[in-house]
Amino acid sequence: MAGVGIAGMDARELTQALLDSPGSHAIVVTDLTGKVSLWNRGAVRIFGYEPDEIVGHDAAQLFVPDDRRSGIPRLEMRQARKDGCAGDFRWHLRKDGEVFWGDGMMYPVLSRTGEHFGYMKIVRDATEQKLLEDEHARLAYVDPLTGLPNRAELYRRLVDMTASSQRHDELLFLHLIDLDGFKEVNDSFGHPGGDKLLREMAGRMREVLRDTDLLARLGGDEFAVLQPGGHSLEAGAIVAEKLLHALACPVDIDGKPAQVSGSIGISVYPDGGTHAEQLVSNADIALYQAKAAGRNRYHFFEPGLGPPTTGPRMQ
């Protein structure tokens, strides 16, 4: 039997049919106060509420508690009325309490004469895409071999930590660490052996640092430590000595001992530099001095030291 067709439907049936057609999107229509007036099948699938459970209730219950406390639902409606639309890219709450990432827009519902009746929100569940993007963003700041923050993350955190040190009138130590003898280990045991040593050294250094310190791998056999909260140079020296001791213990690779040591150059905010690039450059100069003095030692940057003419440099 043929259907009645669009022409045979009353206005409300037609409106509901149009709303139900895009089943992968939640379409929620509210009145001027934010109470739900229409609710499509996509909204049932995404939010979990049947129409009789949600129609007549405030759509604010679809937002996570923090957003409700911050007044986000009302701010969203005001923006939609003012600008003609409002972005809805945030975490939302399903009936069962599970959260999902909503990707959508809200629009004011206007008559042809411009009279404002309410709002229409169109949302899709973009949780999988959001988590994937977050993971890609995280990996952009992580060294894949050791799981430590990488060079990009070091610079990002260095900017934040220098600002914090300035506010609290504290010293911030930047330790640049180079493994002495790593090339020989890599040549003797191959890249798998070298990788094992790098992971072992990363773990050892992490064990002697505080939770507030940041250990990063810059590439190759270069590491860095950001040590905030210092009040004297002795605090930096104590950490440097702990790092040197941790690095000096042999590592077992395929049943054979592999021995390396560390050289450390230290710059101190603010006297050793007031911005990230300057602190790194000056720690690099101090690292060269530590290597030139015989390795397996640390050296503080001293104003007046010129840049090295030879030796390892930060890229």
Higher pLDDT, 299 or 255: 299
**What pLDDT is attached to residue 32?**
96
Average pLDDT for the chain: 89
- Report the distance separating Cα 175 and Cα 295, nearest Å: 15
Is the confidence at residue 310, as pLDDT, over 60? no
How far apart are the C-alpha atoms of 51 and 28, rounded to whole Å?
Answer: 10
Confidence of residue 85 (pLDDT cuts 50, 70, 90): very high
In whole angstroms, how large is the CA radius of gyration of the chain? 30
214-219 and 222-230 strand pairing: antiparallel
The partner residues of 38 in beta bridges, in order of sequence, read 29
Rounded to an integer, what distance in angstroms lies between the CA atom of residue 78 and that of residue 60? 14
Q: H/E element holding 105?
A: strand 99-110
Residue written as tokens 């230290």?
266
221 is a catalytic site residue: yes
pTM of the model: 0.65
Domains of the chain plus CATH, in order, are: 6-133 (3.30.450.20), 140-300 (3.30.70.270)
pLDDT digits (tens, 9 = 90+) for 88-128: 999 999 999 999 999 999 999 999 899 999 999 999 999 99
DSSP string, 61-91: GGB-HHHHHTTHHHHHHHHHHHHS-EEEEEE
For residue 171, pLDDT beyond 70: yes
Instruction: Look at residue 313 in the predicted model and tell me its pLDDT.
Output: 34
Residue 204, H or E segment = helix 182-208
Q: Which residue do the tokens 């990788």 mark?
A: 195
Q: Tell me what pLDDT residue 228 has.
A: 95
Are the C-beta atoms of residues 228 and 172 closer than 8 Å to each other?
yes
- Condensed to tens digits (0 to 9), the pLDDT of residues 222-275 reads 999 999 999 999 999 999 999 999 999 888 888 888 889 999 999 999 998 888
pLDDT of residue 314: 33
Dihedral (Cα; 37, 42, 43, 44), 10-degree rounding: 100
Of 257, 66, 186, 196, the residue nearest 204 (C-alpha): 196
Burial 145-157 (b: 16+ CB within 10 A, else e): ebebbbbebbbeb
Catalytic residue among 67, 103, 143, 221: 221
